[in-house]
């Protein structure tokens, strides 16, 4: 696919909109601008729309895993003017909102009163009125859907970072760190069919680009707002085990490029011998 060339002024304006409205990517910014243009066109052309009728503004991206579950960061509106915000960690309802217009959130943070997890728009799940909450709770499926919705959003958001034509390295590294923190805090086992967003000691990964198996042993740095570097074990095709160090920048690249998949989850990690 050909790259789209834009001038520095345009890049600056896109960056300002992204930061102000907490978009997950520049692709999200452009989609929103195109959607606003489309809504404005309909408003001009459709003179038969009933007064007070709400536009169907919810993002209908066919790539989403669920039609009626949306991570708050990519939410633009509601079909039914009512949203329920839920914690994906424990399945607790945080709050329900009445929405009467398009949504643009620059900052949204909330602590779950059940599990005391501090959440922001990258993890809170908005549930549409049409989603059968009570039925899913009875069937024991709500927690699984919340978890799958968040995992799907994280995966799609990082995939979008690899296709950006505007410089996004700082934002990509920040996203990887943020998703890694949430994943470890939620203590979720990551599925083997989705590239991982985290690097957890005691877990063995496969690099799909190199066919190399790597075991995360322990973090060797303590960065407050960035990914750590790690002691690792590399497993060669000949059966050798090599002790090594994985720097944070390489790890971020692997995760953003969706190259790491989980191959084995371990209960605990033994000490790395030198």
- Per-residue pLDDT band for 10 (boundaries 50, 70, 90) equals confident
Q: Which domains does the chain have, with CATH numbers?
A: 69-161 (no CATH), 172-265 (2.30.30)
Place of tokens 């692997």: 254
Backbone torsions φ then ψ of 128, nearest 5 degrees: -75, 155
State pLDDT tens for residues 139-178: 999 999 999 999 999 999 999 887 654 444 568 899 999 9
- Average confidence (pLDDT) over 203-216: 94
- Per-residue pLDDT band for 105 (boundaries 50, 70, 90) equals low
d(CA 10, CA 142): 42
248-256 vs 169-186: helix crossing angle, rounded to 10 = 90
Q: Are 204 and 215 in contact (CB under 8 A)?
A: yes
Q: Where are the beta strands (DSSP E) in 146-191?
A: none
What is residue 165's predicted lDDT score, i.e. its pLDDT? 42
Which helix (H) or strand (E) is 82 found in, with range?
strand 82-86
- Per-residue pLDDT band for 50 (boundaries 50, 70, 90) equals very low
Indicate the pairing of strand 93-98 with strand 230-235: unpaired
């Amino acid at each position: 696919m050909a790259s789209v060339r834009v001038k520095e002024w345009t890049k600056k304006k896109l960056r300002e909109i992204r930061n102000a409205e907490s978009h997950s990517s520049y692709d999200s910014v452009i989609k929103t601008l195109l959607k606003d243009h489309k809504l404005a066109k309909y408003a001009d052309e459709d003179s038969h729309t009933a007064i007070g009728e709400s536009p169907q503004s919810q993002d209908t991206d066919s790539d989403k895993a669920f039609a009626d579950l949306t991570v708050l960061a990519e939410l633009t509106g509601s079909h039914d003017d009512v949203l329920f915000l839920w914690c994906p960690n424990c399945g607790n309802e945080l709050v329900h909102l009445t929405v009467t217009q398009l949504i643009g959130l620059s900052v949204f943070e909330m602590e779950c009163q059940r599990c005391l997890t501090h959440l922001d728009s990258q993890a809170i799940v908005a549930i549409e009125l049409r989603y059968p909450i009570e039925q899913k709770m009875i069937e024991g499926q709500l927690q699984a859907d919340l978890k799958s919705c968040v995992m799907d959003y994280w995966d799609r958001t990082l995939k979008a970072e690899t296709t950006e034509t505007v410089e996004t390295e700082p934002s990509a590294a920040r996203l990887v760190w943020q998703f890694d923190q949430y994943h470890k805090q939620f203590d979720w086992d990551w599925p083997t069919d989705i590239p991982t967003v985290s690097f957890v000691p005691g877990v063995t990964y496969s690099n799909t680009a190199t066919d190399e198996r790597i075991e995360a042993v322990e973090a060797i740095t303590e960065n407050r707002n960035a990914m750590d570097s790690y002691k690792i074990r590399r497993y060669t095709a000949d059966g050798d085990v090599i002790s090594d160090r994985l720097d944070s920048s390489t790890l971020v690249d692997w995760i953003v490029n969706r190259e790491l998949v989980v191959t084995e989850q371990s209960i605990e990690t033994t000490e790395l011998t030198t």
